[in-house]
Structure 1
Amino acid sequence: MNDELLKRIQRLEYHQRLLLQLIKGEQAPFTKLIIEKNLDEEEVKAFHNLCEYMNNKMEEQKAEGFLYFHPLFQEFTSKLNSKLDAKETVIACIKEKVYLDLMKEFYKYVED
């Protein structure tokens, strides 16, 4: 079986698991965004790794007395998967309570 076909099957299986979560009545705008933007499981893992890194960096900066995190937000947007829009992602994560503290901080910097 060719690698591209296998990747597509794996993505479909992943999306199917996510859809089952949605059907159960969970409010999951970030999960919906994953499906809409056709992200695969590895891309979502990379997003979570990015958020973990950003969250840790924000906590370190807070401990050092930083109050503004716009440079951190800029770094986040530059490393964010190109399939995702920063504003849309931040809002979806807040609604789904994914990396809530980090995303609330980033929300201050998204353009209206």
Structure 2
Amino acid sequence: MNLDVLLEKINRLEFHQSLLLKMIVDSEDHFYRMIIEKSLTEQDLKQFYQSCDELTVALEEQKAEGFVNFEPLFQKFKAALHPNLIAEEVVHACLRQQLYRPLMLEFRKFI
């Protein structure tokens, strides 16, 4: 397969992906849609999940210790985000999709 054919197939896939995104406007998977729109990889998503898992544990520990201000955790969250993602959009999308709800409810206070 030559390079021109491969590039044509990639362009067609990107076009079809954009059409599919338009078709699923009513979907409740807001976060997943954002991942696709921002062209993140599977590895990027795994890193996001790992970061949120770690932050969730830290949040639970801090709550158990009586902490009430979780802005430092939010700053870690922002620093760990992929450069294509905006914290405010991620928090809202995760809340709408019910992902990491306790964590995102705390982070919503800082946006």
With structure 2 as the length reference, what TM-score do the two structures score? 0.76
**2-side partners of 1:26 and 1:36: how far apart?**
14
Deviations 1:11-48, CA, capped at 9 Å, x for gaps: x7xxx7xx6xx85x641110110001001111000000
* Over 2 Å off, 4+ runs: none
**1-side partners of 2:79 and 2:51: how far apart?**
11
Deviations 1:48-94, CA, capped at 9 Å, x for gaps: 00000000000000010001101110111011111110000000000
- 1:41 aligned partner: 42
Matched to 1:32, the amino acid is: R
**2-side partners of 1:46 and 1:78: how far apart?**
12
With structure 1 as the length reference, what TM-score do the two structures score? 0.76
Q: Which runs of 5 or more structure 1 residues have no equivalent in the other structure?
A: none
Percent same amino acid among aligned pairs?
46
Q: Which runs of 5 or more structure 2 residues have no equivalent in the other structure?
A: 1-5
- 1:96 aligned partner: 97
- 2:78 aligned partner: 77
Structure number with larger C-alpha Rg: 2
